[in-house]
Amino acid sequence: MDKLTSNQQLLLATAWVDNHLAEAEANTLRQVLTQQGVAAADIEAALKAKPPSVTELVNKLPGGQPREEVMRDVLRMCFSDGVLEFEEFDLIERVAGQLGLNEETLERIRGEVSGE
C-alpha cells in the first residue's frame, strides 16, 4: 500500500467504502493504476489490503493536486460498478466538502463523469 500515492490510495479507499470490492471496481482500479505505472504485483497487494480512512487520505493529498481531478477520480470509482451505495453517496459528499467544492461544482463534475 505504501507504494501508492495518496490519490491512488484514495481511489482504493473509495472502492472499499461499502466494505465490498466489486469485480468492476477492482477492474477499474487495475486499469487506472496500471496506466499510472503501478506494477501488477503492487496493485494486487493493494487490492487485498485495508486502506486508510478517506479523511486521512484527503488530508494527505499534495497541495498541488487539482481538487476537481481528485473528485472526478472518486466519482468514477463510485460509479464503476453501476450501483451508488449509500456509503458511496456519503463519501462523495464528505470528500467534496473536504476538498472545498461547492454543490454546483460537484454536480458539474458528476455530470461529466456520468455522461449526462
Domains and CATH numbers, the chain: 6-114 (1.10.3680.10)
Count, in order, helices (H) and strands (E) of the chain: 7, 0
Half-sphere exposure of 95 (CA within 13 A, CB side): 30
- The pTM (predicted TM-score) of the whole model is 0.78
pLDDT tens, per residue, the chain with 116 residues? 568 888 888 889 888 888 888 899 999 999 999 999 999 999 999 998 878 787 778 777 766 568 888 899 899 988 888 888 888 888 899 889 888 899 999 999 999 988 77
